[in-house]
Amino acid sequence: MSAKPEPAPILDLIEAFRRSKTMFVAVRLGIFDALEQKPQTAAELAATLNLHPAALARLLNACAALGLLECGNGVYRNRSVSSTYLVSTSPETLSGYIVYSDRSLWDLWSHLGDAVREGTNRWTQTFGGRNALFDFYFRDENSTAAFLGGMHGLGQLSSSTIARAFDLSRFHHLADLGGATGHLAVAACEAYAQLRATVVDLPPVVPFAQKYIARSAAASRLDTLAADFFTDPLPPADLYSLGRILHDWGEDRIRLLLAKIFAALPAGGALLIAERLLDEDRMGSLHDVMQDLNMLVCTDGRERTRSEYQRLLRAAGFTGVQAVKTGTPLDAILATKR
């Protein structure tokens, strides 16, 4: 009789959502921000944040067990990973993306079964008729700031690598379409002294982009343009970029956008794409396939393989399509117009 398999993988998955929610709630309650100011006991922190002391102590112990906090003699303090990525004022913070995950993705994923049953995103089901992704996130200034802060933190993990994945020294003007806070355009201008860039995004986004751009050493070579890249004319450029844009949309809209970009480019111009690349069998790392499932519940799009992007780009007229796995959350594609 063969031995029973160990149940550890199943038990781990049963508890996985508990670990996520523990971190989500700790960020939203401001625990890491408060402890960054000074280490505190559970009682002190409860008074600071107006929380139940005994219940807070249990949450803090869970955060310590997760490796997010240290505790000695009843005093809690941030570990360096929390100071870097969970404190809202850190330049590398991911707290905005965590809040976005807690407020939006958590509820959307609760309807994953219906998404698989019907093959459509869950916006209407989750948010009571809101099925326009960006109308929801840009509904007011606070929502816009939270969403863009989340995308900025996540984008910074890849942007510098994306900007250096190919030699962009022959280009002079980058138009970053849907560029949000401009983290990709900033990284490109900081990597290439000859490059100027325009961050193109919707009117509610532009003031936030300008604030982030102003912090860059290359700010004098960066500007913004309020526009909808689907409906408005594109600014002149010899290099366009799309970072985490194409995975939001279905094939028809992608074809229209790629044709529009191709028509706007001069000969020798190119399109730089930052997206997660699935393996050709549509598998890949756990992060890859989880993100593909995320797109099912969130959007009309999906993650794609290298050959799927190549087909779309070549159908639009691009040649010399190159793709690079970067080892960061996003991979890089460069497509040239001969």
Which of 308, 311, 305 minimizes the C-alpha distance to 284?
305
Catalytic residue among 111, 183, 247, 287: 247
**Edge-to-edge strands, sheet with 69-72:** 40-41, 75-78, 69-72
- For residue 198, how many other CB atoms are within 10 A of its CB? 22
Query: Is residue 247 annotated as a catalytic residue, yes or no?
Result: yes
Q: Which are the contacts of 129, defined by CB distance < 8 A and separation ≥ 6? A: none
Cβ–Cβ under 8 Å, residues 51 and 29: yes
Q: Tell me which residues are annotated as active site.
A: 247
